[in-house]
Amino acid sequence: MYLIVSMIDNWCSYLKTEKEVKRFLVDELGDDIERNVHEYDIVMEDTGLLMKLAYDKLSMKEIIKELETYQYKVIDLLELQRDLEDVKRYFIDNNKYVGNICETIDEIEEVIKCN
């Protein structure tokens, strides 16, 4: 599960599965082609990316990197959950209160489970 945040559209955000993230990039590439229809280099680059997507030749890291060029921040919630677990362990080992971190982890787990 991924959270996509627009950096230019009032921080609008979308919760998407991996398949939906790929479709999201396809939509962005389509829009870019329409906006730049008279720019041969841009159209050819976008078309090449569409072909790679069609043949599953782009990794999620590459897809995320491409979306970042369109001013989106893509957050892998599973990775975030793991990172927060590491933070929680650090604070537990140092006898610090970790309630807020635990609550955040629980909320992320719920989102991941529901989708």
Q: 111 — alpha (psi -120 to 50), left (phi > 0) or beta? A: alpha
pLDDT band at 5 (very low <50, low <70, confident <90, very high): very high
- Higher local confidence (pLDDT), 90 or 73: 73
pLDDT of residue 115: 65
Q: Considering the entire predicted model, what is its pTM? A: 0.83
Write out pLDDT tens, residues 12-57.
Answer: 899 999 999 999 999 999 999 999 999 999 999 999 999 999 999 9
Tell me, what DSSP letter sits at residue 74? E
Give the residue ranges of DSSP H helices in 1-115: 18-35, 40-54, 60-69, 77-93, 99-114
